[in-house]
Structure 1
């Protein structure tokens, strides 16, 4: 694997943290998408994890802090999660040392005496985990899972040498072309895995257990994926009727049976790559909002942060062409109004 140029932290800091794990209780907290799930599989293959949780960004709060404290963990590993709330992190540091392995754009270098922050841009978080942990233990049999996570997060243009070898190993071919990458064996496998996670959204630990170590067993999961496929097709047909056009932005409030928001917005943004697509879905107290613009001329994390400024319990982050945010349901109307007034000069980069 090619050497990673880390944006924050380095390999020495990682190995210093891992070397001090000892017999203390370890918690692993990872994101809910395929990249987050595969991160957990990689870490758990090498580290003896006592507590495993898959969380969205709204769960990074005092309740999670208390839960981890009650579990008497002394080490907490976050993967594929952009931790922006410094106070949240400081509360965990009172009882545990922290390792964060992430690939999102960040505002603060979180490295401190009690936190090791490892970040690299352009790779999936699973790839970064695999890169680091495979130096401790042979885990080559997980390479196809890491490749699938990279595909699902569209992190395919760094580490090309390794990706090409993995594609070849499983009878596929890596092509450095956006359209051609959306075909083939590994593309189909990652899509099935992603749909399975949507089906089991409310029980991701079960989904984690269902994802097989052997690539040959993935088609067995098609029975779950099929139900989500049908929902995606049905919801996509509603877009033209229900979308709101606001200048260069398409905004859509979606209400599906399954949480297919991100797959749908990823599909829509490929049609008009110079437009911003924002799809919002209510889940409990919050609206989960996904934003995409594929020509990369807009810094979407910055756009979303401007739109949610001042909203209680809100958060935003992600990558330049693909980002997300959370807002309380009471704030969605104000979010929409701000979106209508968004200054094109602000969002279009030079």
Structure 2
């Protein structure tokens, strides 16, 4: 039996007269997932497709943008939309599907939700949305010629540990050189370029999508976004050279980045965590009145999502979410000192709890 069988009807019932809106997370997984879905629908000759970037802090505005297209179908990609009941309530008269790999509880009724767990894959943080879309939509069309886009999503979302053999097959198929560091491969370099597009203000999502849809890998590596990537790498190197504050015998490390040229906190925390697998790295980036937080830990002794959620629970206008090894948060800058104190306290509590168990 096809593991996707119970989800096939959603796409099967879409016809050329329907209007579909894709709503996606603006990152290195959500963007490739969206492009794969766009290409699949093109091959199915379903052309009335529109897209709306997701904004966690402005979800009702997102709903308004979706409804402005008067869609018959809405597909959320790399967004656990089923947990946002107010957002879902605005879409009750539409057919809605969520394709995502974030664990949630209390899903909104009447929504088709496809998660890795739905097809028997329990470690959801390793099954990125781009791979899930590729596997699902391959039931309808052949996507092997654009499988390199799937590799971009996997590498961007740190899934190479699980999908190493799959990635090697993609590299061989497209005649890409296999490198020891996945980020040095062609899809890895493109992943960095896509992440660069989402690290600037304003975010250059539209340009990134157009590039993946219309350009060859060789063209992407020579694109204006590739030049931007060079500037961002210089900023990353600068922040990597800065010291971090360490706690709990070095297991928790916190770095505050003030008003950087680019939003590179996620890359910095990720690079540090890959270099020291047993430690947790938190970057707190100050953007005026707002803080953007990235938490990473490859061998998570403490779940990063729990750490951030518990550390912001008493703050107004704050939100957090993600996976055990990788999570993010946003909150007002006025809470910076209290937030750092909470991180240290909560980390200690969770560490003790996990050690005892």
For the aligned pair, the TM-score class normalised by the smaller chain equals 0.7 to 0.9
Q: Give the Cα separation in 2 of the matches to 1:313 and 1:12.
A: 40
2:109 pairs, out of 91, 107, 112, with 112
Q: Give unpaired runs (5+ residues) of structure 2.
A: 42-46, 117-123
Give deviations 1:252-294, integer Å, cap 9, x for gaps. Answer: 2212111111111111223332222111224475422100112
The number of residue pairs the alignment matches comes to 334
CA drift of 1:161 comes to 4.2
CA drift of 1:75 comes to 1.6
**Cα pair 1:69 1:95 within 8 Å, conserved:** no
Does the C-alpha gap of structure 1 residues 342 and 184 become closer, same or farther in structure 2, counting only changes over 3 Å?
same
Matched with 1:263 is 267
CA drift of 1:93 comes to 3.3
Q: Give unpaired runs (5+ residues) of structure 1.
A: 5-9
Give deviations 1:138-191, integer Å, cap 9, x for gaps. Answer: 22221111112101111123344432211222334668xxx6545444433432
Give deviations 1:290-332, integer Å, cap 9, x for gaps. Answer: 0011222221111111112133333222222111122233333
Give deviations 1:57-82, integer Å, cap 9, x for gaps. Answer: 223x2222223223322321111112
**Cα pair 2:308 2:343 within 8 Å, conserved:** no
Matched with 1:15 is 8
After superposing on structure 2, the runs of 4+ consecutive aligned residues of structure 1 that deviate more than 6 Å are none
RMSD: 2.6
Q: TM-score, normalised by structure 1?
A: 0.85
Q: Give the Cα separation in 1 of the matches to 2:332 and 2:346.
A: 20
CA drift of 1:131 comes to 0.6
Equivalent residue of 2:79, what SS? coil
**Cα pair 1:286 1:328 within 8 Å, conserved:** yes
Q: Give the Cα separation in 2 of the matches to 1:323 and 1:78.
A: 19
Q: TM-score, normalised by structure 2?
A: 0.83
Matched with 2:119 is none
CA drift of 1:342 comes to 2.3
